[in-house]
Amino acid sequence: MTEPTMIGAYGRWAAGLGGGALPALSFRREEFDDVERWRPLARGRALERLAPPELTAPEDVEVVETSEHDGLHVESLRWRLPYGEATEAVLLKPAGADGPLPGVLALHCHGGRKCWGWRKIAQIGEIAEPVAAHQRQYYGGRAWANELARRGYVVLAHDAFAFASRRVQMADCPDTIRGEVIDPPYDDAEAVAAYDEWAAQHENLMAKSLFSAGTTWPGVFFAEDRVALDILARRSDVDETRLGCAGLSGGGLRTCMLAGLDERIRCCAAVGFMSTWRDFLLRKCFTHTWMLYVPLLPRELDFPEILGLRVPAPTMVQNTTEDTLFTLEDVRESEKMLREVFAKAGAEENLAFNLYGGPHKFDVPMQEDAFAFLDTHLRG
């Protein structure tokens, strides 16, 4: 009897549609021997598949409030895109810091929590217990964006598409799908749980609608994250030649896309989101949302090779051995793929692929390793 798959007996057939050959634009193919000639071709095709909406960073970023918290200068920011509610964000840097500092875009996770965005990874005052519990579960009990800022960075954390300030508002949905769910304040645990349960089911409708509009969820993520990077890069207190990004889980996915496709990202740490398209097809698509999938791209690049588009730039990947979102065998296969890409480019020393014990997380030891990697390449 063959191994069960997510689509039953059709799994092996679907997995064989590529003919067993390397994807068409894989740098591991023999015909590609020059990174600088290959990258524009592969990046261009990846962007074509993502089909991101064209967005320009607004000039009028509103500084809602400035304050100090635990040795950090804090700015609460808001900006508007051509659609949806205004994006809310927080910017952190050491209080009293002089001169341009390296900048990092901190990308929050999914975590099944649509009511929260940047609050999952940053703190500017007292936080509600549900948020604190989330940080304890996934982040070792600390707001990692704050910890990174203390090391001498300007860190920007913003709400991603469909999260927190950018979430789907119930008042904008028809009664047929809204039911009794309300738009909750972020610290109302019961109302937040009800909204998050609704939002999980709504992802199917969002994905169908985005496909019908000629775009993809990863494409919208990329477009909005790039706007945030534009806003960070143009600040006078940021050195635009020393930019990085990092994130866990959904933030790790967004890191793969942004760092792979935007050459301004000099260094990155993709945490808790690395495997192969084969793993998602055969075993693990049920553990992931529509935010991952890009039609047709698997024909041209395997999933790790999206991040590999940045070769030879410094790149860190962190995963854990007991993460139920991925099959460990395929995590190791993704490491092999990335090491082949970096080795072929003569940049083996610029790839760090670390596996840690335990479940899905970005705990304090992992954070410290990631911060040290960023320090080496952005502050060293």
The structural domains of the chain, with segments of one domain joined by +, span 49-379
Distances (CA, A) of 192 to 25, 114, 121, 185: 43, 8, 18, 7
pLDDT surpasses 90 at 161: yes
pLDDT band, very low/low/confident/very high, at 184 (cuts 50, 70, 90): confident
The residue-averaged pLDDT of 258-269 equals 98
- Amino acid letter at 94? P
Task: Enumerate the H helices of the chain as residue ranges.
Answer: 10-15, 35-50, 129-139, 144-150, 175-178, 189-212, 217-233, 250-261, 277-279, 303-307, 328-344, 364-374
Position 25 scores a pLDDT of 98
Q: Look at 29-33, 125-129, 233-237, 310-314 and tell me which has the smallest mean pLDDT.
A: 125-129
The residue-averaged pLDDT of 130-145 equals 96
Mean of all residue pLDDT scores within the chain: 95
C-alpha angle 367/116/174, rounded to 5°? 150
Position 186 scores a pLDDT of 65
pLDDT band, very low/low/confident/very high, at 36 (cuts 50, 70, 90): very high
Distance CA 46, CA 301 (A): 8
Instruction: Specify burial of residue 195 (Cβ count, 10 A radius: 0-12, 13-18, 19+).
Output: buried
Distance CA 291, CA 330 (A): 20
- Amino acid letter at 297? L
pLDDT band, very low/low/confident/very high, at 374 (cuts 50, 70, 90): very high
Distance CA 143, CA 364 (A): 10
Distance CA 261, CA 184 (A): 35
CB contact at 8 A, 360 and 274: no
Q: Look at 2-6, 164-168, 320-324 and tell me which has the smallest mean pLDDT.
A: 2-6
Helices and strands per DSSP (H, E), number in the chain:
12, 9
DSSP bridge pairs for 246: 106, 269
Residue 235, SS3 per DSSP: coil
The residue-averaged pLDDT of 16-45 equals 94
Distance CA 25, CA 301 (A): 6
pLDDT surpasses 90 at 119: yes
Fold of 49-379: Rossmann fold (3.40.50)
The residue-averaged pLDDT of 12-37 equals 93
The residue-averaged pLDDT of 349-356 equals 98
For the chain, percent of residues with pLDDT exceeding 90: 90
Length of the chain, in residues: 380
DSSP bridge pairs for 72: 69, 94
Task: Enumerate the H helices of 266-320 as residue ranges.
Answer: 277-279, 303-307
For the chain, percent of residues with pLDDT exceeding 70: 99
b/e burial code for range 350-374 (CB count within 10 A of at least 16 → b): bbbbbebeeebbbbeebbebbbebb
Position 371 scores a pLDDT of 98
DSSP bridge pairs for 352: 316
Indicate yes or no: pTM above 0.85.
Answer: yes
pLDDT band, very low/low/confident/very high, at 137 (cuts 50, 70, 90): very high
pLDDT surpasses 70 at 313: yes
Residue 120, SS3 per DSSP: helix
CB contact at 8 A, 171 and 195: no
Please count the other Cβ atoms lying within 10 Å of the Cβ belonging to residue 35: 17
Tokens, residue 96 = 């009293």
pLDDT surpasses 80 at 49: yes
Place of tokens 């942004």: 258
Residue 165, SS3 per DSSP: helix
Instruction: Kindly report the backbone phi and psi dihedral angles of residue 138, in degrees, each rounded to the nearest multiple of 5, phi listed first.
Output: -110, -20
Distance CA 97, CA 95 (A): 6
pLDDT surpasses 60 at 1: no
Position 99 scores a pLDDT of 82
pLDDT surpasses 60 at 335: yes
- Amino acid letter at 148? L
pLDDT surpasses 80 at 188: no
